[in-house]
């Protein structure tokens, strides 16, 4: 469904198709600014809709009739072919995709080197043909970090284990108690054999000791029945769950059952997630994001060694943290990912799972997520917060291939590290 803003503006779009008689760029520019037709532009560092002398601040992304998308936060237009052009003060964009760019000062570099258009003595006009509403496509230099689109499939398949042994782990997470059973061989090739996901209220300190004990005993029984030896059953407390007041009581209860419980720091959690989620073939061209409830970990390999940066998780709304402050923090951390590794991001966690599930085709092991702005059907505070983090990651890195792996989890990385 079109937004009310777009619906009201599309009526004028037909009037914006280029006339049969050619006019000069300078004359066209004068007509645009002084006319009564709506145009998008950047004024005082804000994306606005300008109609003659009337200006209205844009408060949501708008998709134009030709498929281009105007992003109010990034002050960019994403063309139908996926090319992103960052608008500068004075640039003008019509509803049918006609773009007039103000030429930079002589000798000055483009304001956005990843989406620049060669300057000329007069403003550059990219107009739609008179016989069709679809505009000509500008040819800006492609962003060096965005090597794949948001759509498509991910065909990578890991090597299957040979004569592998069963190992099991229960994750005590901030938002769930989850169970994973894998088969792993001597070369650390592995395959997920069984998984179960359960909700918990650990982070909110509303889960009783009896609730936890009953749930964990049930997981232990299922792993034993599946064939996992008792000595190969492990428990890992996530860095987020470790912050909850009653977690230490849960750990003591498990230790009373003679099980070893490992509590991880955010850095350790990021390293384990990197080990499980990043395929070996992508060690020199990809990075990993583990978006948890309490924190998110951004990890990659630098000179063969893991590097981890942690930031806000998808439940930051419970602490009344401003969305803009979270986005700024995430961007600062994500910007540290080396440019050569930004082609593909392997993303895991609760919110990414919901995003992948919404567009999954069949039972493929990997799903390429849609753009952060393309999930209007999903709602809820946690989803909204997670999308804000996702948007910040995309803007900071330029990555357009976020791949969710259904079989990946940092606790599996723990099993692989044993």
The answer to whether residue 360 is domain-embedded is yes
Whether residues 186 and 276 fall in one domain: no
- How confident is the model at residue 15, as a pLDDT? 30
- How confident is the model at residue 149, as a pLDDT? 64
Tokens of 141: 């230099």
Whether residues 172 and 237 fall in one domain: yes
Question: Distance between CA atoms of 86 and 45, rounded to whole angstroms?
Answer: 12
CA angle 70, 73, 79 (to 5 degrees): 25
Tokens of 262: 């490992």
Q: Which of 61, 96, 126 is the last residue of a domain?
A: 126
pTM (two decimals): 0.62
The answer to whether residue 156 is domain-embedded is no
Helix or strand run (H / E) with residue 94: strand 92-94
- How confident is the model at residue 81, as a pLDDT? 56
- Phi/psi at 268 (5° precision): -65, -40
- How confident is the model at residue 370, as a pLDDT? 94
Whether residues 393 and 273 fall in one domain: yes
Question: Distance between CA atoms of 54 and 93, rounded to whole angstroms?
Answer: 16
The answer to whether residue 133 is domain-embedded is no
Whether residues 113 and 15 fall in one domain: yes
- How confident is the model at residue 23, as a pLDDT? 36
Helix or strand run (H / E) with residue 386: helix 381-397
Whether residues 242 and 278 fall in one domain: no
The answer to whether residue 294 is domain-embedded is yes
The answer to whether residue 297 is domain-embedded is yes
The answer to whether residue 345 is domain-embedded is yes
* Distant-in-sequence, close-in-space partners of 405: CB < 8 Å, separation ≥ 6: 277, 346, 348, 365, 366
CATH number at residue 330: 3.30.420.150
Contact criterion met (CB below 8 Å) for 414 and 270: no
CATH number at residue 238: 3.30.420.40
Total domain count for the chain? Answer: 3
Whether residues 234 and 281 fall in one domain: no
Whether residues 254 and 291 fall in one domain: no
Tokens of 329: 């923090």
Whether residues 340 and 273 fall in one domain: yes
The answer to whether residue 203 is domain-embedded is yes
- How confident is the model at residue 86, as a pLDDT? 83
The answer to whether residue 195 is domain-embedded is yes
Whether residues 213 and 348 fall in one domain: no
Per-residue pLDDT tens listing for the chain (418 residues): 444 444 444 433 333 333 333 334 444 444 444 444 577 888 877 888 876 667 788 877 777 766 677 887 788 887 655 677 888 887 888 766 777 776 443 333 343 333 333 333 333 333 333 333 444 434 333 344 444 567 677 888 888 999 999 999 998 877 677 899 999 999 999 999 998 887 655 555 555 667 667 777 888 999 999 999 999 999 998 887 777 767 777 788 778 878 888 988 999 999 999 999 999 899 999 999 999 988 999 999 999 999 999 999 999 999 999 999 999 999 999 999 999 999 999 999 999 999 999 999 888 999 999 999 999 888 899 999 999 999 999 999 999 999 999 989 999 999 999 8
Whether residues 26 and 116 fall in one domain: yes
3-state class of 309 per DSSP?
strand
Whether residues 249 and 388 fall in one domain: no
**Domain region containing 255:** 165-263
- How confident is the model at residue 37, as a pLDDT? 57
Instruction: Report the chain's terminal Cα–Cα distance, integer Å.
Output: 51
Q: Which of 73, 98, 126 is the last residue of a domain?
A: 126
CA distances from 303 to 83, 107, 306, 338, 400 (A): 32, 38, 8, 11, 24
Closest-CA residue to 366 (of 346, 388, 394, 393): 346
- How confident is the model at residue 3, as a pLDDT? 46
Whether residues 354 and 405 fall in one domain: yes
Q: Which of 202, 237, 263 is the last residue of a domain?
A: 263
- How confident is the model at residue 117, as a pLDDT? 30
Burial of 189 (0-12, 13-18, 19+ CB in 10 A): middle
* Distant-in-sequence, close-in-space partners of 158: CB < 8 Å, separation ≥ 6: 189, 190, 191, 279
């Amino acid at each position: 469904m079109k937004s009310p803003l777009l619906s009201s503006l599309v009526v004028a779009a037909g009037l914006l198709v280029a006339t049969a008689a050619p006019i000069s760029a300078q004359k066209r520019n004068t007509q645009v600014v002084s006319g009564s037709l709506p145009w998008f532009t950047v004024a005082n560092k804000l994306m606005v809709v300008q109609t003659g002398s009337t200006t209205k601040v844009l408060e949501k992304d708008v998709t134009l009739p030709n498929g281009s998308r105007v992003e109010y936060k990034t002050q960019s237009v994403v063309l139908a072919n996926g090319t992103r052009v960052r608008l500068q003060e004075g640039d003008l964009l019509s509803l049918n995709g006609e773009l007039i760019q103000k030429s930079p000062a002589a000798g000055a570099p483009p304001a956005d080197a990843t989406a620049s258009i060669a300057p000329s003595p007069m403003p550059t006009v990219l107009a739609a043909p008179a016989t069709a509403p679809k505009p000509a496509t500008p040819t800006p230099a492609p962003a060096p970090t965005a090597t794949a689109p948001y759509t498509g499939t991910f065909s990578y398949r890991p090597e299957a284990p040979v004569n592998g042994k069963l190992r099991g782990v229960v994750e005590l997470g901030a938002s769930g108690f989850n169970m994973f059973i894998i088969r792993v061989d001597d070369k650390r090739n592995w395959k997920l054999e069984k998984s179960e996901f359960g909700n918990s209220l650990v982070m909110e300190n509303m889960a009783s000791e009896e609730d936890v004990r009953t749930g964990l005993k049930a997981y232990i029984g299922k792993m034993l029945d599946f064939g996992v030896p008792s000595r190969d059953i492990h428990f890992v407390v996530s860095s987020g769950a470790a912050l909850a007041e009653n977690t230490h009581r849960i750990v003591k209860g498990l230790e009373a059952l003679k099980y070893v419980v490992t509590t991880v720091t955010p850095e350790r959690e990021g390293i384990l997630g990197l080990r499980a989620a990043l395929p070996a073939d992508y060690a020199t061209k990809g990075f990993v994001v583990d978006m948890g409830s309490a924190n998110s970990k951004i990890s990659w390999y630098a000179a063969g060694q893991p590097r981890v940066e942690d930031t806000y998780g998808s439940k930051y709304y419970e602490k009344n943290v401003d969305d803009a402050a979270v986005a700024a923090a995430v961007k600062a951390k994500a910007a540290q990912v080396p440019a050569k590794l930004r082609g593909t991001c392997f993303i895991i966690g609760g919110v990414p799972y919901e995003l992948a599930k919404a567009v999954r085709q069949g039972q493929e092991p990997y799903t390429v997520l849609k753009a952060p702005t393309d999930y209007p059907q999903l709602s809820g505070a946690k989803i909204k917060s997670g999308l804000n983090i996702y948007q910040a990651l995309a803007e900071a890195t330029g990555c357009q291939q976020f791949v969710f792996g259904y079989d990946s989890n940092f606790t599996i990385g723990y099993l692989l590290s044993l």
